[in-house]
């Protein structure tokens, strides 16, 4: 396609060059040469016979023109170079008679002759073909061949530049399809391929994070289910010989714990679903959440002056609820603040407590599934380790940002930025 386009462009350029540059120059040059030929013949006819040989020698040496008696040869040659047809037209205008250049071979050179009228009759005037030393067809052929070679090399280079990143992308996509984590693609080359590689790398990182989260989730669920299952099996064995209400109550607590864990896992999965936003009155919405999560030992104080806002209601309720439960668990005995702040661009909803806080180097790890600062994994000292992971997934699904940082004066502040 590039070669075909190049040929069309080359022909168009050559045609325009011939019509608007070469043809006007050829006509002007041919008119001057025709005038010189006619003037030379007329001057020779007016010279004394003794000076004519010297004039012929000077004319041949200086202007590559020769004179001889008029030729009676008739007929038309099959083909002339392009310039000689233009010269014929100029001779017709100069002499007023039909002119056609006759070709002859003399001493290995081609000469073109015409009969020019003078005061005493006709006189033959000739010029060698080498005097017009132009080769337009040769130039066109060399240009086409050289241009085609360059275009083919360019097309090959462009194809390699495009197909090589695409081949790497295809191989990396196949690895992802097989469940492996590919090497990140180099973000170089044409602008579109750079953008494609950048998006693929982001997708590969997300897939890697999802695979890691899946493995962690399955390992954590299996680990946390083993303890209540072991207690339930032990209780059932004891109940064979000594049934008691205490064992039944323990079974119920274990079942509730397992149900809560499975519910948290389902919440984490549902966090990936996008919820359509709805307009709510933010102070009323936060007061409703605070009322539902307040307990006798942990009050929730609401501070919000914001009006109506569009949010994903259920997702926001789950996210704030998880943050409140974490704050109540680790800051027991002190009130938890549920606040909202508005700046020029963002609306921020925060949960602030006066608990022990989190070390800065542990904040990012706290968003990983089943990660807990307290390593015993006892339900009495902490949750399942899915609360913050659920909050982050809900934020990702709805275009929010979640941040944790130390609260001035002690404690932790968690912000959801809309």
Question: What does the radius of gyration of the chain's CA atoms come to, in whole angstroms?
Answer: 48
CA distances from 257 to 228, 261, 264, 371, 383 (A): 8, 6, 11, 18, 10
In whole angstroms, how far apart are CA 295 and each of 103, 292, 328, 332?
Answer: 118, 9, 9, 10
Between 296 and 50, the more confident residue is 50
Beta bridge partners of 116: 123
Q: Taking a C-beta distance cutoff of 8 angstroms, is the pair 338, 392 a contact?
A: no
The H-or-E segment that residue 391 falls in is helix 387-398
pLDDT in tens, 298-308: 788 999 888 88
Instruction: List residues bridging with 339 in a β-sheet.
Output: 303, 350
Judge residue 26's burial from the number of C-beta atoms within 10 Å of its C-beta, 0-12 exposed, 13-18 middle, 19 or more buried.
buried
Label residue 320 exposed, middle or buried (CB < 10 Å: 0-12, 13-18, 19+): buried
Distances (CA, A) of 276 to 270, 272, 302: 14, 13, 25
Q: Where are the alpha helices (DSSP H) in 47-81?
A: 52-63
pLDDT value at residue 77: 61
Contacts for 108 with CB less than 8 Å, ≥ 6 apart: none
Q: What is the pLDDT of residues 312-351, one digit of tens each?
A: 888 888 889 888 988 888 877 788 999 998 877 788 999 9
Report the percent of the chain where pLDDT is more than 90: 22
- In this predicted model, what pLDDT tens digit does every residue of 199-228 receive, in sequence order? 988 888 888 777 776 776 666 667 667 777
Q: Whole-number mean pLDDT of the chain?
A: 83
User: What pLDDT score does 352 carry?
Assistant: 92
pLDDT score of 374: 59
Better pLDDT: 37 or 276 = 37
SS3 state of residue 120 = coil
Percent of the chain scoring above 70 in pLDDT? 89
* pLDDT of 383 over the 60 cut: no
Residue 183 pLDDT exceeds 90 = no
* pLDDT confidence bin for 182, thresholds 50/70/90: confident
**3-state class of 72 per DSSP?**
coil
Confidence of residue 96 (pLDDT cuts 50, 70, 90): confident
Q: What is the pTM of this model?
A: 0.47
Domains of the chain, CATH where assigned:
2-134 (3.30.450.300), 274-417 (3.30.565.10)
pLDDT band with cut points at 50, 70 and 90 for residue 10: confident
What are the tokens at 30?
């041919």
Confidence of residue 363 (pLDDT cuts 50, 70, 90): confident
Spatial distance between the Cα atoms of 240 and 203, rounded to a whole number of angstroms: 54
β-pair partners for 402: 416
CA atoms within 13 A on the CB side of 301: 8
Q: Which of 80-89, 281-290, 364-373 has the lowest mean pLDDT?
A: 364-373
Q: What is the pLDDT of residue 132?
A: 84
Determine the Cα–Cα distance for residues 404 and 413; give it in Å rounded to an integer. Answer: 6
Q: Please state the φ and ψ torsions of residue 207, each to the nearest 5 degrees.
A: -65, -40
Give me the mean pLDDT over the 234-253 stretch: 82
165 HSE (CA, 13 A, CB side): 22
Average pLDDT of the segment spanning 122-144 = 85
> How do 336-342 and 300-303 pair as beta strands?
parallel
**pLDDT at residue 12 is higher than 70:** yes
**Long-range contacts of range 26-29, CB-CB < 8 Å, 24 or more positions apart?**
26/82, 26/83, 26/86, 27/86, 27/89, 27/90, 29/83
Q: Which residue has the higher pLDDT, 119 or 213?
A: 119
pLDDT digits (tens, 9 = 90+) for 247-285: 888 888 888 878 877 776 676 665 556 678 889 998 999
Beta partners for residue 340, in sequence order: 349
Question: What are the Cα distances from residue 82, in Å, to 87, 136, 399, 413?
Answer: 9, 9, 74, 90
How many helices and strands (H and E) does the chain possess?
10, 11
Q: Which position has the higher pLDDT, 125 or 99?
A: 125
């Amino acid at each position: 396609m590039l070669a075909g386009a190049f040929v069309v462009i080359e022909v168009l350029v050559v045609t325009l060059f011939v019509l608007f540059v070469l043809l006007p120059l050829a006509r002007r040059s041919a008119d001057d040469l025709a005038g010189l030929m006619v003037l030379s013949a007329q001057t020779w006819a007016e010279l004394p016979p003794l000076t004519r040989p010297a004039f012929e020698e000077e004319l041949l040496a200086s202007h590559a023109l020769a004179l001889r008696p008029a030729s009676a040869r008739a007929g038309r040659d099959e083909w002339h170079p392009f310039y000689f047809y233009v010269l014929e037209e100029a001779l017709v205008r100069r002499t007023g008679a039909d002119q056609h250049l006759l070709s002859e071979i003399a001493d290995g050179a081609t000469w073109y002759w015409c009969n020019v009228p003078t005061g005493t009759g006709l006189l033959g005037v000739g010029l060698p073909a080498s005097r017009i030393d132009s080769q337009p067809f040769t130039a066109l052929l060399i240009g086409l061949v050289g241009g085609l070679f360059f275009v083919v090399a360019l097309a090959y280079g462009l194809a390699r530049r495009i197909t090589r990143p695409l081949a790497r992308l295809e191989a990396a996509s196949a690895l992802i399809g097989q469940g492996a984590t590919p090497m990140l693609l180099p973000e170089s080359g044409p602008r579109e391929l750079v953008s494609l590689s950048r998006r693929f790398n982001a997708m590969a990182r997300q897939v890697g994070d999802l695979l890691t989260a899946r493995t962690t989730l399955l390992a954590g669920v299996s680990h946390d289910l083993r303890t209540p299952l072991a207690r339930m099996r032990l209780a059932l064995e004891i109940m064979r010989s000594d049934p008691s209400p205490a064992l039944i109550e323990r079974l119920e607590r274990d079942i509730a714990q397992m149900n809560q864990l499975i519910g948290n896992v389902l919440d984490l999965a549902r966090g990936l679903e996008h919820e359509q936003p709805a307009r709510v009155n933010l102070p009323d919405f936060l007061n409703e959440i605070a009322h539902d999560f307040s307990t006798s030992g942990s009050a929730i104080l609401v501070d919000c002056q914001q009006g109506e806002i569009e949010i994903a209601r259920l997702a926001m309720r789950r996210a704030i609820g998880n943050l409140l439960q974490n704050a109540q668990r680790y800051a027991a005995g002190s009130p938890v603040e549920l606040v909202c702040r508005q700046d020029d661009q963002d609306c921020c909803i925060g949960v602030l407590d006066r608990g022990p806080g989190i070390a800065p180097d542990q904040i990012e790890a706290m968003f990983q599934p089943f990660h807990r600062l307290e390593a015993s994994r006892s339900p009495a000292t902490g949750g399942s380790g899915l609360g913050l992971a659920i909050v982050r997934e809900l934020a990702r699904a709805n275009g929010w940002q979640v941040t944790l940082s130390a609260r001035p004066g002690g404690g932790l502040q968690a912000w959801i930025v809309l």
